[in-house]
């Protein structure tokens, strides 16, 4: 039997689904809530935003699996076990879903969805001139497992796509930029900016007043990375000054977004409750299963996190 400690938040709302999928994959897999005493003997931890210090209490732990592609939530725990291997989920279904969300909010903006929805509420049959978006310059910050799919799908719609990363990504047909100079070039040269970066100490607050001011007037900002990538008051100020034309946001510094947050009152900001890509046990179980087999065989699993890079 392989004991797997599970935590997806305070309510553990997906516990039963994960338990069913893991048992179907291998009857030897037994899922238990992370906070139960039985979890003290767990060899595997499948977690998201777990209580600080709890993983350090699991003395038989061999592998920690993040319940998402991001792993920044793990580093919030000052007692996080320093020597246990960590993997992140790289699920094609999540990449597909997030790419759909990016396309949905971008096309809604470019085809004036907010204007026509307001028209409908007013029962007015007004029109605005259609934009010419063929070849529109789009910047993607973060072109890994998710960003590469987004880039490919945007290219298929005849956008001109440029990607930024810390290092060159093979097998991508888009123009790539790197480092600080490449980041500045991307800001100035594109009308749409899409943040899909991992959150690290180097990328926290990377989209601030200085970054927004370098974007062309009328630029549009999309964030499906992490809320902490953005200095929120700077984004709001840039939109209120009409330097940026608006933003679509799926992530925020505080979630749920407080009812008092000024973003709610800015009609040019499209607010989504962190739903752009949700982890599906149906499609992600196979990766967890293989990672457990690998670690039990003495091998390192795929999608291993590099702690020096923080992702």
Q: How far is CA 70 from the centre of its chain?
A: 6
Q: Pick the closest to residue 70 from 213, 188, 250, 199 (CA basis).
A: 199
Beta-bridge partners for 89: none
Q: How far is CA 150 from the centre of its chain?
A: 12
Indicate the SS3 state at residue 16.
helix
User: Whole-angstrom Cα distance, residue 222 to residue 44?
Assistant: 35
The strand ranges marked E within 230-295 are 244-249, 269-271
Residue 19: active-site member: no
DSSP run (H or E) holding 151: helix 147-156
Q: Which of 20, 204, 209, 274 is catalytic?
A: 274
Residue 226: active-site member: yes
How buried is residue 274: exposed, middle or buried, by Cβ count under 10 Å (0-12/13-18/19+)?
middle
Q: Is the bond preceding 256 in cis, omega lying within 30 degrees of 0?
A: yes
Q: Which two tokens stand for residue 294?
A: 């690998």
Q: How far is CA 228 from the centre of its chain?
A: 12
Q: Which of 54, 88, 193, 226 is catalytic?
A: 226
Q: Pick the closest to residue 63 from 311, 307, 301 (CA basis).
A: 301
User: Whole-angstrom Cα distance, residue 129 to residue 216?
Assistant: 21
Q: Using an 8 Å Cβ cutoff, are 146 and 98 in contact? A: yes
Q: Decide the pairing of beta strands 160-165 and 219-223.
A: unpaired
Distances (CA, A) of 169 to 70, 141, 233, 245: 19, 13, 33, 31
Indicate the SS3 state at residue 189.
helix
* Active site (catalytic) residues: 226, 274
């Amino acid at each position: 039997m392989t004991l797997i400690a599970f935590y997806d938040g305070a309510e553990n709302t997906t516990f039963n689904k994960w338990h069913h999928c893991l048992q179907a994959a291998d009857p030897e897999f037994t899922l238990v809530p992370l906070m139960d005493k039985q979890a003290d003997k767990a060899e595997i931890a499948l977690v998201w935003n777990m209580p600080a210090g709890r993983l350090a209490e699991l003395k038989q732990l061999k592998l920690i699996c993040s319940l998402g592609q991001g792993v920044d939530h793990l580093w919030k725990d000052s007692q996080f076990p320093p020597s246990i291997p960590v993997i992140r989920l790289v699920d094609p279904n999540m990449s597909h879903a997030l790419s759909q969300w990016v396309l949905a909010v971008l096309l809604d903006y470019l085809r004036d969805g907010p204007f026509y929805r307001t028209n409908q509420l007013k029962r007015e049959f007004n029109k605005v001139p259609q934009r010419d978006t063929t070849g529109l310059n789009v910047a993607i910050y973060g072109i890994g497992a998710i960003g590469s799919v987004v880039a490919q799908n945007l290219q298929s719609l005849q956008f001109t796509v440029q990607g930024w990363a810390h290092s060159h990504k093979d097998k991508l047909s888009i123009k790539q930029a790197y480092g600080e100079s490449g980041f500045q070039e991307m800001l100035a040269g594109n009308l749409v900016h899409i943040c899909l970066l991992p959150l690290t100490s180097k990328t926290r607050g990377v989209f601030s007043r200085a970054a927004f001011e370098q974007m062309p007037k009328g630029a549009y900002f999309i964030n499906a990375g992490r809320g902490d990538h953005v200095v929120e008051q700077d984004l709001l100020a840039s939109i209120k000054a009409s330097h940026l034309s608006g933003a679509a946001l799926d992530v925020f510094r505080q979630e749920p977004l407080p009812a008092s947050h000024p973003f709610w009152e800015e009609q040019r900001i499209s607010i989504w409750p962190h739903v752009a890509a949700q982890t599906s046990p149906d499609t992600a179980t196979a990766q967890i299963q293989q990672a457990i087999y690998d670690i039990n065989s003495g091998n390192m699993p795929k999608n291993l996190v590099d702690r020096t890079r923080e992702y």
